[in-house]
Structure 1
Amino acid sequence: MKTTKLLLIYILIYLPITINGQIKKIGTPLIKNYNRIEYKGGTQNWDIDQDKNGNMYFANNTGLIQFDGSTWKKYKAKKTDEMKCLKVDPTGKVYVGYYNEFGYFKANSKGKLEYFSLSSLLNKKEHSKMDVVWKIHLYKDEVIFQSFHSIYIYKNNKLKIINAPKKFQFSFISNGRLYIQDIFSGIMEYHDGKLTYLKGTNALNNTEVWGVIEIQKNKILISTLDRGIFTLSNNQVIPWNTQANTFIKKNGSLGCILYKNKYIVINSVLDGIIVCDLNGNIIQHINRSKGLQNNTALSLFIDNSNNLWLGLDNGITYVNENSLLTYLDFNYNLGTVYSSVIHKGNLYVATNQGVFYHPWNTDFKADSFKLVEGTTTIAWNIQIMNGELICASNKGALVILDGKLIKNLDPTGYLKFEPIPKHPGFYIGANYNGFSIFEKTNTGIKLRNKVKGFNKSSIVFEIDNNYIWLKKDEFIYKISLENNLRKTQIIKTYTQFSESNPGIGSLQKINNKIYFQTNNIFYTYSKIQNTFIEDQAITNLFKSIPKINQLIEDSNGNLWYNNNNSMGVLMKAGNKYRHISSPLSNLTENLVTNYMSINTIDSKNTFIGLTDGLAHYDSTIENITPLKPKALIRSFSFPGDTIHLGNGQNKEEEYELPYSSNQVKFTFSSPSYENLENLEFSYQLEGFEENWSVWSNSTVKEYTNLKEGNYKMKVRVKNNSGIESDEASIAFRVYPPWYRHSLAYLLYLLMAAGCVHYIRFRIRMKIRKNKHFETLEQRRLYLEKETKIKQEQYELEKEIEKLENEKLQIKILSKDKELVNNTLQVVKKNKILNGIIQKLKDINTGSFDETTKAQFAKLNRSITKEVNTDKSWKDLEKHLKNVHFDFLKKLKEKHPTISSREMDLATYLLMNMSTKEIAEFMNISTGGVELARYRLRKKLELNQKENLIGYLMSIK
């Protein structure tokens, strides 16, 4: 029961310490320096803070500097540049202090930090008293700005001022309490708007206090610039007589912070920083010789992964203090390490420059490894054989004791040694020309013989009870020796272990059994079956691990592996293994290719060979660093604008882009500062890409000529342990061009509907019109037909009329002719009657009786009356003029000089009267008619070939 209680007390006391981690005494943590060229700022960095997204902020003497793991950005206030202090609140506001100015930076609608002055709230008198604002504190619901003259308390958009009793120096928050030093009056505590003196602190008057931390209840540690470190307890200030105080008295202090509640980090003026425990014992000292770029540390900050950031007098430094790894590099006189081992109280290291050693039970300090004289060459391996320390080197098989070279067993170059099963006291060594056999003797190990029949060399070989297995290039050699170990008996070469799994991977011994590996599938060799058999149990251990290149089992049974991406270990716990990879991820770029060196001394001490020294790993320290990295989309750019993300904005928006801005650019980052070089990003633009991109170190991606639509940019990050982050995403929409906008399509639809309606209307109108035109056409055709019929009827009538006229003309002509004939008959009759009358006149009436005389006279009168009353000629002439009026008119118009006599002749000719008839009619001779015709032709200007009657007919 008592044992159980003690165990419980131990767990309650020490478990939190284990979980919180420890500061390691061996080696130096990984240090990453950023110079002013990288962050594009001034030299001095006075203050450091971090926001909830992991972005780092630095108060630089040229302004505010922000670092997101990928990109450095600088922001300036309007009136001044030289920043002295900053503090980031939970909303992302960055409060800043300058000379005669203080305020805050806040992300605008585009995510870019903009400066807002708070000192502008002061009146001119108060502003004129203000000097340099050195410290800013977020205290409860107030923001405290501290200058030498006053403290300015910002709350609810109002400023309250408390003036210094004499002169403020600096102020500090520790364990929720705010302390302020008045350099002439002592240290005070601020509470509820009032300052209360801490008794006994006036002993530090006229001394600059640069750090105040509460290390125990009612015990405060105070570091000063030039008088060392003090503690305040029970109202007494006393020197802190420790190693840390001795260091600070010599080098000065510019501040201190409490680390993991059990360590103190103190920055110095002259010699970097120290890490000590709460008793003042120095555990680590990091200065320029250990990798800092400057020995004056102006500011300290512990980030959200419990790693240190140092604001130096010239530059910024990141210290991976929370890592389980520390390094013994060139500062410890070490080069490329191929092997290490502890022998008789010394740690020996085989390097490319020879064998170095260091006492194991003393502190590891810079330049503390010493060269074993006579070993200056490439030392490939160092191991213990039968209690002796043997080094396989380029000079041969070297025996070393107590840091000295004792002898060289064989000057041939050697790579590795192994004991031979079934042959106690015998060892085989792989040299540059094959193998050699060494034998244990009373005077120590000696070379016995060279093995004949095999001349290939490799450091990768293992021995079981039956064979020597050697891996060389892409081959595995199975070698059996004769029983006297002087000559090879059988040599067989393999290029694969299974037809379904071609290739050769690694050769290793696990639990004293030889395993062969390809593509993380492990095999053992069966001599009985003369074949390789898969070992499912070991294979399952590596099922979810990336393809390995090498595997080594350490002295504790842990399985260490490396691959192209990283290094990891399966820590053995009983019959099970626990996979650890993230703490070892920083070793990726520093591992020695094809020469994996693991030296596990105990659970607290494992040394890993690197290209630049050793890495020290303590497996008992639990690392609380989040295993999963965090991906951030830092900016979203498109023509004309840039959206800065992760500067305190909480609201997720869907951004809307016009089609003219369909060229977008994204930048990514991950605040995994301990592993920046090995981070890889993958992205997918949902709506444009179907698959995620391949992993790459690129932190920028650009897309051009995106079509309209909804998009979602997704980004994830992976560290070199293969651990992926959650997705970071941003949604945006590219609007279509105006002619493809939904309103445009609605307009097109309306226009189409209008067009359809119009077309239908036009078709209907056309149909109507066609019907109308058809009706009109039918009417026209009808009318035309009717007209045609009428025309034809008219023409027929005209034809009839013409025929009738012609008939009438013919009839008239006939009548005319008849009339002429009658007239001629009448004329003839009249001539006859005149002749009778003349003859009657010749009759002598004297012989007649009266009656006869009377009858004769009566007859004569009657005949004379008949002749005189006959007007046939005149009627004929009148008739002819009436009938041929148009002809005579046209003839007269065409030939005005024509006479009436000639017109009568033309009429007679037109009537087709004969010359004789004309002569009788005109009462002329036929010769006179011919003469009259000649004169008429002349009058009508007709030539001889023209027909007179035809011409007259044409006039008609």
Structure 2
Amino acid sequence: NNKVTVYPTSTEWRFLGTCNNQLIAEDLEKGTFTFQNGSWVKFLQNSVLPPSTLITSFVSLDSKHALIATLKEGLFLYDGDGLERISSPALDQLAKKMVYKAVVVDKNRIALATIFDGCHIIDEKGALIQSLTHQEGLQNNNIRSIYLDRNSNLWLGLDNGVDFIAYSNAIKHVYPETQNIGSGYSSYLFKNTLYLGTSNGLYKVGLDNSPNFSFIKSKLEPVGNTEGEVRNLSVVNDQLLMGHHNGAYLINNNIATPLDNSSGFWTFHPVSTIQPSPLVVGGTYLGLNFFEFKNGSFAKSKINAQFESARFVVVENDRTIWVAHPYKGIYRIDINPDNTTSIKLYNQNKGLLSSNNNYIFKIKNRIVVSTENGLYEYNEQKDGFEVSAYFKNILNKRDIRYLKEDP
């Protein structure tokens, strides 16, 4: 009606918000009020909250319950009749960091924005689920406002900027070191420990029963002697092997033990179907190197095949190994009875469309090469490659870069 009504107070209004269709305000001396029928009515008695308590958020949990966040006194649960303090070791610590705002993320999670310690996610009992601070990538820890959008993502208003947290996104970035962000090359879950190979080195974290990796309490920590580019992680003979720019390593007891530093290593494969495989092949920057496995230990073998970089390796059987090169073609390596090796190159002269952009796989006991013109298959009688009649009917002429058969 083009009219402004003023509701003065003898001191100051310190909070104004809505909860379950109620307008709620806090007076410095008189406590909390709700607005009914054009006037302010007492809502909570002064004695309910500690003296000089400053309410920062009053958010609905359901139609009967609400969460009250205070600047320094922690959190309280309002059930329509009275208040109950929500107490936990995590909340006791967060209260010291000044809880400036709170927002309900979902049925069981609440986000607390603090002035000195970033954003923290807790459950309805006050247990800490996740911390989002400068260490995790925020510009700083001084949060002044928080907003949950319709996609359940969080927006944080900071002292000097805005941060966006893709909280509901199924795909999340993992930064082992936020101050030295590198590229991720490989990962492996081995004996309930997640290993992440990056351009800075190898990192690991023990997993717990958390439904989401973001909620894991443990921190990623570096594995010793792995600084530099980690190319690959493979488990062979129940041992974790690391292909590194500096060589081949065995990962055990939080340390990397070198097995072969003659070249950088791309990958590892058991040569035999017998477990544990007595012979293991490693694809290197220069070709293939082999390891013998005896009494639970790896040792360098005298067998090797030096020709070109061997990043894409497929073991056909215990005597024949195939390697795809990005612009040379396909190599076949045969291990002779005297443990020497024979190397043969297959390119457009052996049925392939081109020497470039070929990837090799073993699918249904077939040696299959993906090309820019679909899938080709090795014909042993012709000793060459030809268009795969089997896969042509399934995948047509798709340009495929990765293919794996289900176990």
Q: TM-score, normalised to structure 1's length?
A: 0.38
Cα distance in 2 for residues equivalent to 1:303 and 1:327: 20
Residue 510 of structure 1 and its aligned partner are, at CA, apart by: 5.4
- The residue type paired with residue 531 of structure 1 is F
State whether residues 67 and 76 of structure 2, in contact with CA within 8 Å, keep that contact through their aligned partners in structure 1: yes
Residues 333 and 243 of structure 1, relative CA distance in 2, 3 Å threshold: farther
1:417 aligns with 2:268: yes
Residues 254 and 273 of structure 1, relative CA distance in 2, 3 Å threshold: same
1:539 aligns with 2:389: no
Residue 269 of structure 1 and its aligned partner are, at CA, apart by: 0.8
Aligned to 1:517: 370
Cα distance in 1 for residues equivalent to 2:186 and 2:103: 38
Residue 267 of structure 1 and its aligned partner are, at CA, apart by: 0.7
Cα distance in 1 for residues equivalent to 2:93 and 2:367: 53
Counterpart of 1:184 (choices 29, 32, 39) is 29
Residues 384 and 313 of structure 1, relative CA distance in 2, 3 Å threshold: same
1:376 aligns with 2:223: no
Counterpart of 1:170 (choices 15, 31, 37) is 15
State whether residues 347 and 354 of structure 2, in contact with CA within 8 Å, keep that contact through their aligned partners in structure 1: no
Cα distance in 1 for residues equivalent to 2:298 and 2:130: 42
Aligned to 1:790: none
Cα distance in 2 for residues equivalent to 1:508 and 1:203: 70
Secondary structure class of the residue paired with 1:464: strand
Aligned to 2:141: 295
Residue 552 of structure 1 and its aligned partner are, at CA, apart by: 6.0
Residues 191 and 468 of structure 1, relative CA distance in 2, 3 Å threshold: farther
Aligned to 1:230: 76
Cα distance in 2 for residues equivalent to 1:494 and 1:243: 66
1:493 aligns with 2:346: yes
Cα distance in 2 for residues equivalent to 1:377 and 1:385: 22
Aligned to 1:400: 251
- The residue type paired with residue 277 of structure 1 is D
Aligned to 1:249: 95
Cα distance in 2 for residues equivalent to 1:278 and 1:320: 21
Cα distance in 1 for residues equivalent to 2:74 and 2:23: 22
Secondary structure class of the residue paired with 2:152: coil
- The residue type paired with residue 265 of structure 1 is A
Within 5 Å, which residues of 2 pair with 1:796-811?
A: none
Residue 485 of structure 1 and its aligned partner are, at CA, apart by: 7.4
Unpaired segments ≥5 residues, structure 1: 1-155, 558-956
- The residue type paired with residue 170 of structure 1 is F
1:310 aligns with 2:160: no
Residue 484 of structure 1 and its aligned partner are, at CA, apart by: 3.1
Secondary structure class of the residue paired with 2:135: helix
- The residue type paired with residue 462 of structure 1 is V
State whether residues 174 and 213 of structure 1, in contact with CA within 8 Å, keep that contact through their aligned partners in structure 2: yes
Root mean square deviation, CA, Å: 3.3
Secondary structure class of the residue paired with 1:289: helix
Within 5 Å, which residues of 2 pair with 1:665-680?
A: none
Within 5 Å, which residues of 2 pair with 1:503-514?
A: 503-509=356-362, 514=367
1:439 aligns with 2:292: yes
* Higher-helix-fraction structure: 1
Within 5 Å, which residues of 2 pair with 1:74-93?
A: none
- The residue type paired with residue 328 of structure 2 is F
Cα distance in 1 for residues equivalent to 2:287 and 2:221: 33
Secondary structure class of the residue paired with 2:178: helix
State whether residues 215 and 278 of structure 1, in contact with CA within 8 Å, keep that contact through their aligned partners in structure 2: no
Aligned to 1:449: 302
Write the deviation string for residues 384-437 of structure 1: whole angstroms up to 9, x where unpaired.
1111222222443222212134x4333322221111246753211122332122
Secondary structure class of the residue paired with 2:402: strand
Residues 174 and 297 of structure 1, relative CA distance in 2, 3 Å threshold: same
Residue 479 of structure 1 and its aligned partner are, at CA, apart by: 0.7
Q: TM-score, normalised to structure 2's length?
A: 0.83
- The residue type paired with residue 327 of structure 2 is E
1:276 aligns with 2:122: yes
Counterpart of 1:361 (choices 200, 208, 221) is 208
Secondary structure class of the residue paired with 1:246: helix
Residues 484 and 333 of structure 1, relative CA distance in 2, 3 Å threshold: farther
Cα distance in 2 for residues equivalent to 1:481 and 1:502: 21
Cα distance in 2 for residues equivalent to 1:497 and 1:163: 91
Cα distance in 1 for residues equivalent to 2:187 and 2:158: 36
Which has more radius of gyration? Answer: 1
Residue 213 of structure 1 and its aligned partner are, at CA, apart by: 1.0
Secondary structure class of the residue paired with 2:151: coil
Cα distance in 2 for residues equivalent to 1:473 and 1:519: 12
Cα distance in 2 for residues equivalent to 1:235 and 1:512: 71
Counterpart of 1:526 (choices 379, 400, 406) is 379
Unpaired segments ≥5 residues, structure 2: 210-214
Within 5 Å, which residues of 2 pair with 1:674-713?
A: none
Secondary structure class of the residue paired with 1:489: strand
Write the deviation string for residues 852-905 of structure 1: whole angstroms up to 9, x where unpaired.
xxxxxxxxxxxxxxxxxxxxxxxxxxxxxxxxxxxxxxxxxxxxxxxxxxxxxx
State whether residues 497 and 503 of structure 1, in contact with CA within 8 Å, keep that contact through their aligned partners in structure 2: no
Cα distance in 2 for residues equivalent to 1:432 and 1:165: 79
Secondary structure class of the residue paired with 2:395: helix
Residue 188 of structure 1 and its aligned partner are, at CA, apart by: 2.3
Write the deviation string for residues 558-590 of structure 1: whole angstroms up to 9, x where unpaired.
xxxxxxxxxxxxxxxxxxxxxxxxxxxxxxxxx
State whether residues 350 and 382 of structure 1, in contact with CA within 8 Å, keep that contact through their aligned partners in structure 2: yes
State whether residues 340 and 348 of structure 1, in contact with CA within 8 Å, keep that contact through their aligned partners in structure 2: yes
Write the deviation string for residues 479-509 of structure 1: whole angstroms up to 9, x where unpaired.
1413437333350222599777995243345
Counterpart of 1:341 (choices 188, 204, 227) is 188
State whether residues 324 and 331 of structure 2, in contact with CA within 8 Å, keep that contact through their aligned partners in structure 1: no
Counterpart of 1:198 (choices 43, 51, 54) is 43
Aligned to 1:565: none
Cα distance in 2 for residues equivalent to 1:455 and 1:332: 39
Residue 313 of structure 1 and its aligned partner are, at CA, apart by: 1.4
- The residue type paired with residue 188 of structure 1 is F
Secondary structure class of the residue paired with 1:331: coil
Aligned to 1:385: 236
Counterpart of 1:331 (choices 166, 171, 178) is 178
Residues 356 and 311 of structure 1, relative CA distance in 2, 3 Å threshold: closer
Residue 265 of structure 1 and its aligned partner are, at CA, apart by: 1.2
- The residue type paired with residue 174 of structure 1 is C
- The residue type paired with residue 4 of structure 2 is L
Count matched residues: 393
Aligned to 1:824: none
- The residue type paired with residue 343 of structure 1 is F
State whether residues 516 and 523 of structure 1, in contact with CA within 8 Å, keep that contact through their aligned partners in structure 2: yes
Cα distance in 2 for residues equivalent to 1:333 and 1:342: 23
Higher relative contact order, chain-length normalized (CA < 8 Å, sep 6+): 1
* Higher-strand-fraction structure: 2
Aligned to 1:717: none
Identity in percent: 22
1:481 aligns with 2:326: no
Secondary structure class of the residue paired with 2:16: strand
State whether residues 288 and 310 of structure 2, in contact with CA within 8 Å, keep that contact through their aligned partners in structure 1: no
